[in-house]
Amino acid sequence: MLEQTRLLLVDDHAVVREGYRRLLETRPDLAIVAEAATAREAMDRFRIHGPDVVVLDLSLPDMGGVELIRRLLQRDAGARILVFSMHREPLFATQALRAGALGYVTKSSPPEVLVNAVYQVAARRQVISPDIAPELALALIDRPREPLAELAPREFEILRLLLDGLGPEEIGARLSISAKTVQNCHYQIKSKLGVRSDIELTRLALRLGLI
């Protein structure tokens, strides 16, 4: 009997999810055991189905994918996670890998890159899609000059939510932390990035391609 690698797909766009589900299901040794449109759905499906590989997008409506990676690994330190994202900026890949993902593939990659990445992550090997690998290598070399790379994954998620216009209470509710913790983290983010105000923070994020 053929041994199958069991997958959980996490993406809030049903049409996009359907597209790569069909692609992956063409392989007889890959099986989609569950899908989720939000991070909380993903955590629930992960608990119920225990997939071999989680393929997830970073842009989710309730909490970011970087935070989801961290939480899945808290539940299961051996979780194998592949990020499949539209973001081509090295910063996003860096944060996803630092949070614990084994792979990062952009949605602009050829279909075979995604399929191969699933096999690589299932085998517990790290993989980066070729279209961003050179940029990511350069970003890691130049890391001292990349201030956003100094943020911890939780800080990076809070920054993204702040830039989306969310307040401390809403961010706290999404991440299951207190508004006070969010405010303290907001201060730490500005301190690490060397900015004094939210206007300067937004300008820096624009300059570095975060928004």
Instruction: Assign residue 114 the CATH number of its domain.
Output: 3.40.50.2300
Looking at the structure, tell me whether residues 32 and 98 fall in a common domain: yes
Residue 26 exposed, middle or buried by CB count within 10 Å (0-12, 13-18, 19+): exposed
In angstroms, the CA 192 to CA 189 distance is: 5
Range of the domain at 105: 5-140
Q: What is the pLDDT along the chain (211 residues), one digit of tens a residue?
A: 678 999 999 999 999 999 999 999 999 999 999 999 999 999 999 999 999 999 999 988 888 899 999 999 999 999 999 999 998 888 888 889 989 999 999 999 999 999 999 999 999 999 999 988 877 766 665 554 566 777 888 888 899 888 888 899 999 988 888 999 999 999 999 988 888 888 888 888 787 667 6
Q: What is the pTM of this model?
A: 0.78
Given 106, 140, 174, which residue is the final one in a domain? 140
DSSP state of 148: G
Domain count, the chain: 2
Given 122, 140, 158, which residue is the final one in a domain? 140
Instruction: Assign residue 163 the CATH number of its domain.
Output: 1.10.10.10
Looking at the structure, tell me whether residues 25 and 101 fall in a common domain: yes
